[in-house]
A and B are shown apart, each in its own frame.
Chain A
């Protein structure tokens, strides 16, 4: 089952590059993620193949991330389909190895590599997969071939590659830490095996390993101050791609940090790793806060909001939060996906990303406006959306460690972000549409492009109102794994 899950996207990706018909490719683009989603559900339902002693396998943690990735991919693939149809280029054609073919292929490859990263339990394989996701997604960012999108892709590629290379040093250091004790020398470098024997590992090398891995994967995840590529990449790539990047890719990197942190916890240096995570988290919160204030580009705004939420996640892990962390990451993926898709719709309505010139979305298109509002309510942690719950439980986690200063700073940063963000959101959503932009068309009725965001919005709402018991169980068990329990 796992192999089917893993290989299908790769095969389909390569196939779609070589495919001639644009329609068939688009069909494939929708079908494969759907199939992937069904497979994930099936694996979850059967709970078969949950092995943790091999390099590739699925524990509950992977299943959870797999599920969210699959869901985001499935929903975004509809939007991608629409996007491709809209941007069809009749002259250049969409034949074999065309620009569009590569695009579609890379999306599927991205799905494949993401799945690989989630399913890999070996530190090396994980690293490899994560770097592969970077490579698969870089062409997606530069799809529009504008100077800006190329620049963004370049920065993304270079900075992430350097970051992930640094994480490789961390992996090496992990390996070195096993070399000191005879009992651990032959340990396979899988996350689980390392976690099991963590108390025998050399603490200094563990610390070095964690430092490198945190900075390395943190780059990919978007923690400040390594987040610099993120707003560029998110704002310049096509909106469905931004949704994918923010909804799935960062989660993969986060998974790496999570799993490494588990080793640290087991090794008894949790205090150290927690402190680092809290620091980076806080830094990310404040950094994104400053940049969100008076932000002039709404997709960059969303990018910085991702930085913010990665910071929250890092802090949550650092504070020893279990359930809240995973639930937050799930919620964030859905919500950010929703927001990016809506941002794409706004972009196509207004043809500008400037927050200053977009006003009166509610007048121009009520559905888009409502979704935009709902998305921001969700992302800023207002009920009845799920992030409210997860944020609250993260705060409880920080509180239970009696880190009052950190809690205060956390709340302060969230306050700054909230105030800055809503100033922009209110300006954009409400009011009268701009008069000077005669090209703005109004779209009172909901259209086909609203379907994907509506699905994501209802999912986010559902998670806030009621968590399906199987999912709740899954999250709970994953949280246990995360903390290092059996």
Chain B
């Protein structure tokens, strides 16, 4: 029952991400989404959760809900950009798109043949929606930093997909994945900082000098 509650919350957070107009709310939304995903994956682990998994879950929760958002905030401060998001697609349209994406995710999950045992279709749909949200943020938002957030959001979706499909990777692999995500966002922030030094802005619209 609790998992359904978390799924519903995740849905709402994703819609919030679709429609958020401020950088701060975007980052906070991403943090919330990370938190919910970690919780959900903890819930979905049927059977016993070993000590190692606990540690892993806690670490990933810390990284995704605290470290990375703080990193983003810091980048935001250092870069000193304006707080609004400057979308390619308007907020209202985004919201409707988000609703559509949610509908699509649920419809898609119904269509898929699912293995029996421990699979939670609504959780899959939520994860799918998170992925789509992430991709949407990358495609439809103008600032480099919002794209980094989009990447994080998308990773959360993928991260949540596995447990909701009752797929359990070995711990070391999951840890590696986590490390990759962390370093990835970290390097992105570094590059954003460098870009800031070079360009005096991080509007990806103007990051289009290289073309044919």
Indicate whether A and B are direct neighbours in the complex (CB within 8 Å).
yes
- A residues neighboring B (CB under 8 Å): 122, 124-125, 127-128, 131-132, 134-135, 138-139, 142, 145-148, 150-155, 157-158, 161-162, 165, 168-169, 172, 175-176, 179-180, 189, 202, 204-205, 231-232, 235-236, 291, 295-296, 300
Main secondary structure of the interface of B (DSSP, over half): helix
B47 within 8 A of A: no
**Does B37 lie at the interface of the complex (its beta carbon under 8 Å from any beta carbon of A)?**
no
* Given A151-B207, A158-B138, A175-B162: A300 touches B154 (CB 8 Å cut-off): no
Given contacts A124-B173, A176-B165, A176-B167, contact A161 B113 (CB under 8 A): no
Question: B131 near A: Cβ within 8 Å?
Answer: yes
User: Chain A residues near B170 (CB, 8 Å)?
Assistant: 122, 124
Pair B158/A175 contact, Cβ less than 8 Å: no
Would you list the 7 A-B pairs with minimal beta carbon distance, nearest first?
A124-B173, A128-B176, A179-B115, A175-B167, A131-B180, A232-B210, A147-B198
Q: What DSSP secondary structure best describes chain A's contact surface?
A: helix
Evaluate contact between A172 and B191: CB separation under 8 angstroms.
Answer: no
The stretch among B2-10, B52-60, B182-190 that forms the contact with chain A is: B182-190
B184 touches A157 (CB 8 A): yes
Residue of A nearest to B170 (CB): A124
CB neighbours (8 Å) of A204 from chain B are 112-113
CB contact between A135 and one of B151, B158, B165, B183 (< 8 Å): that residue: B183
Residue contact B180 to A135, C-beta cutoff 8 Å: yes
Q: Judging by beta carbons under 8 Å apart, are A128 and B177 in contact? A: yes
Contact assessment for B194 and A127 in the assembled complex, using a CB-CB cutoff below 8 Å? no
Most buried by B among A122, A145, A155, A158: A158
CB distance from B41 to the nearest CB of A (A): 12
Contact B177 A157 (CB under 8 A): no
Interface residues of B (CB under 8 A from A): 112-113, 115, 117, 131, 135, 138, 144, 147-148, 151, 154-155, 158, 161-162, 165-167, 169-170, 172-174, 176-177, 179-180, 183-184, 187-188, 191-192, 194-195, 198-199, 207-210, 212
| Least CB separation from B192: chain A residue | A154
A300 with B151: CB separation less than 8 A: no
Which of B115, B147, B173 meets A176, CB within 8 Å? B115
In the bound complex, CA of A33 to CA of B151 (Å): 33
Q: How long is the Cα–Cα vector from A151 to B151 in the complex, in angstroms? A: 17
Q: Which residues of A contact B117 (CB under 8 A)?
A: 179
**B191 contacts which of A157, A296, A300 (Cβ < 8 Å)?**
A157
- Bound together, the chains give a CA A124 to CA B178 distance in angstroms of 12
B148 (CB) vs chain A CBs: closest residue: A158
Decide if B162 touches A150 in the complex (CB within 8 Å): no
A176 to B121 CA separation, bound complex (whole angstroms): 13
Once the chains bind, are A154 and B144 in contact (CB under 8 Å)? yes
User: What's the Cα separation between A326 and B170 when bound, in Å?
Assistant: 31
Q: Are A162 and B154 in contact (CB under 8 A)?
A: yes
Q: Of B113, B158, B207, which is within 8 A of A168 by CB?
A: B158
A164 CA to B92 CA in the complex, in Å? 30
CA distance A291 to B210 in the complex (A): 14
- Chain B residues with CB below 8 A from A205, complex form: 113
**With A and B bound together, what is the CA distance between A205 and B179 in angstroms?**
27
Query: Which residues on the B side are within 8 Å of A147 (C-beta)?
Result: 195, 198-199, 209
Q: Which residues of A contact B209 (CB under 8 A)?
A: 147-148, 151
Partner of A150, one of B161, B187, B194: B194
A162 touches B138 (CB 8 A): yes
With A172-B167, A189-B169 in contact, do A165 and B154 touch (Cβ < 8 Å)?
yes
Q: Which B residues lie within 8 Å of A165 (CB)?
A: 151, 154-155, 158
